[in-house]
Amino acid sequence: MSAITRDEVAHLARLSRLALREDELDQLAAQLGEIISAVAKVQEVAKGDIPPTSHALPLTNVYRPDESQPGLTPDQALAGAPAVEDGRFRVPQILGEQE
C-alpha cells in the first residue's frame, strides 16, 4: 500500500477547511500513513470466516426476575422525617411567595 502523500493531506485539509502549516502537512502525512498501514494489517487478519465480536468472551446479561415487593406504608416512609405536615415531608420553602 502506498503511503499518503503531502498533497493528499493538503487536499484533505482544504476539504475540511483546516489551515495547516507546511511542517504540519509533513507530520500529518507520516502519521496518516502509519494509521493506514495499521488498518491494513487489521483488515488482513479480519477474514470473512471469523464472526465479528465486541468482546473476547461471550457475555450474558444476568437479571433478577421482576417480582412485586411490598413497599413502605406512608407512616413507615415518614417515620424518619425531621418534619411532617399533612402526611407529607415538610421542607423549607425555596421559592418566594406566589402572587
Distance CA 37, CA 1 (A): 8
At residue 7, does pLDDT exceed 90? yes
33-62 pLDDT, tens digit each = 999 988 888 877 766 777 777 777 888 888
Write out the three cell numbers for 75.
Answer: 407512616
Tell me the average pLDDT across 67-90.
93
Q: Which residue range(s) make up the domain with 20?
A: 6-45
CATH of the domain at 35: 1.10.20
The rounded mean pLDDT for the chain is 86
Distance CA 40, CA 6 (A): 20
Query: Which string of DSSP letters, residue by residue, matches the chain?
Result: -PPPPHHHHHHHHHHTT----HHHHHHHHHHHHHHHHHHHHHHHH--TTSPP-SSSS----------------HHHHHTT-S-EETTEE-----S----
In a domain? residue 16: yes
Q: How many domains does the chain have?
A: 1
pLDDT at 99: 57
Using an 8 Å Cβ cutoff, are 20 and 39 in contact?
no
In a domain? residue 77: no
At residue 29, does pLDDT exceed 50? yes
At residue 96, does pLDDT exceed 80? no
